[in-house]
Amino acid sequence: MCMKIELPCECGKETAQFNNLNNILPPSVIEKVYCPECSGSIEIDKDTMLADNGWIIQYDMDQVRFLLAKIGIQADRVTPEFVFDERYSTWQGVTPTDMVQSIKEREEIVKLAKVDKKKYIETIKAWSINRMQAFMEAGWRKAQPRTA
């Protein structure tokens, strides 16, 4: 089970939603979050930070390495990219605000189910495909094809 984590960005204008895979890592591994508005003046520290489409996550990498070592992951493999891409601490959904946005978008589509089930199925399927395509085109990290 994954616990949902909500953290405000440093300027306080946005809230990012995270989940940490199987709660192996506690929420405290996420030190800071910067939205596109407050990330502009931040210099990326590749040893502790991950940038994703204007957002920046700063991890407590000492804590991350210590905790992942307990489950047999060698410290030299543990980078911010590894933590994010392997879902140990990542967005809940494709983007930091994906879950909230998708609920709002689906609410409108679900109304169709009561009046036209066929149209509802067609619409929800197209919405899902188009949404993921838009995320890919926008450059969101979790929407990109994974390489081995």
Determine the pLDDT at residue 147.
74
Asked if 86 and 20 touch (Cβ cutoff 8 Å), the reply is no
Number of H helices, E strands in the chain: 5, 6
119-148 b/e with 16+ CB inside 10 Å = b? Answer: ebeebeeeeeeebeeebeeeebbbbeeeee
| Whole-number pLDDT of residue 81 | 98
pLDDT value at residue 59 = 98
Rounded CA gap, 138 and 116, in Å?
A: 32
Q: Which residues of the chain have pLDDT under 50?
A: none
pTM of the model: 0.90
pLDDT of 148 reads 61
pLDDT digits (tens, 9 = 90+) for 106-143: 888 888 888 889 999 999 999 999 999 999 999 999 99
- Domain limits, the chain: 4-91, 98-143
- What is the predicted pLDDT for the residue at 124? 93
